[in-house]
Amino acid sequence: DGRVAVSDPANSVLQLANSETGILQDLPEGLAVTDLSQAFGKLPVAFNWLGADMALVSAHKLGGPKGVGALVVRRGLDVAPMIRGGGQEMGRRSGTENVIGIAGFGAAAEAAARDLADGVWARVEALRDRLEMLVADGAKDTIFVGNESRRLPNTSCLAVPGWKGETQVMQMDLAGFAVSAGSACSSGKARPSRALAAMGLGPQVAAGAIRVSLGPATTEAEVEAFARAWLDCHARHRARVA
């Protein structure tokens, strides 16, 4: 189901939400670090619910400035500094603070909290589900990775065995849509996804997977246009291999 069993939580780092599939993990009590970057702002998250010693969040995932993030540390935990000097940020990371970036992060976090309260991501989830329904109706050989697990509301990982993800990315780019083969942080790498391989998916399935992400500005018309374009590319692929 895409969830990870952690044998040594005190010495492990685990994402709350996987970057490629959107699958949400069950974080074990006593986990050293959790990466909340994918989930923060899209789901209600409170650090004291998680059972981890530390958590990482990133501003650009909320629409804030790049290069700014936060390390959330459990009260009473002593963290040795990696950068010493002037003692900024409670002595944990010396150096002049990026005040403008931090202010932008704060504004983005406030906006994200309003979006959650207003049901914005519930609407995005409904659009994601509609996209998957349209694709499934028109392409019966499509595999939706993690669709039976708890997922982020905006992420769909779909795969067609034998149709390379890189090919789909190029074809959809020509059609005016940006998708990725794998997570954004591994873009440009042609090797099959380690995450999908670890889930037990065969090489042809893993190589044929793409990630489709929606956002608060995505419309139903855009979802339907994407499905039509993708299904057209799929039909051409099936005709070539027939």
Catalytic residue numbers, as ranges: 185
Residue partners of 174: CB distance under 8 A and separation at least 6: none
Residue 80 carries which side chain, given as an amino acid letter? A
Q: Which residues share a beta bridge with 69?
A: 58
DSSP label at 189?
Answer: -
Q: How many CB atoms lie within 10 A of CB 90?
A: 9
Q: Cα–Cα distance between 195 and 213 in angstroms, integer?
A: 17
CB 59 within 8 A of CB 108: yes
**Strands 155-159 and 209-213: what pairing?**
antiparallel
**Strands 52-58 and 31-35: what pairing?**
parallel
**Strands 69-73 and 52-58: what pairing?**
antiparallel
Q: Which residues share a beta bridge with 93?
A: 83
